[in-house]
Amino acid sequence: MLRVHPQSRPAHRIGATALIAGGVAFAIGFVGPALFSSSNLGPLLGIFVTGPLGLLVGALVGILVSAGDSAGRALNVELRWLLGAWLATLLYTLGSSVVGIGLVAIGAQVAVIICAAVLFYLVPATLPEWVASNRPILLLGGLSALLTSVFPPVEQASGRATFAHFLDLRFDASTHVPSYTVDQTLLFLMFVVIVSAAALIVVVGEKSR
How far apart are alpha carbons 52 and 109 in whole angstroms?
12
CB-neighbour burial class of residue 85 (10 A; exposed 0-12, middle 13-18, buried 19+): buried
Which pLDDT does position 177 carry in this prediction? 81
* Per-domain boundaries in the chain: 6-208
Which pLDDT does position 126 carry in this prediction? 85
Which pLDDT does position 161 carry in this prediction? 63
Which pLDDT does position 40 carry in this prediction? 65
Which pLDDT does position 42 carry in this prediction? 65
Which pLDDT does position 33 carry in this prediction? 76
Beta strands in the chain (DSSP E): 153-156, 161-163, 180-182
Which pLDDT does position 6 carry in this prediction? 46
- Helix axis angle for 76-96 and 51-68, nearest 10°, is 160
Provide the 8-state DSSP code for 84.
Answer: H
- Print pLDDT tens along the chain (209 aa): 334 444 458 899 999 999 999 999 999 988 887 777 666 666 788 888 999 999 999 999 999 999 988 776 788 999 999 999 999 999 999 999 988 899 999 999 999 999 999 999 998 878 988 899 999 999 999 999 999 999 999 987 666 668 999 999 888 877 778 888 999 999 999 999 999 999 998 888 777 76
Which pLDDT does position 2 carry in this prediction? 37
Helix (H) or strand (E) holding 208: helix 184-208
Which pLDDT does position 190 carry in this prediction? 97
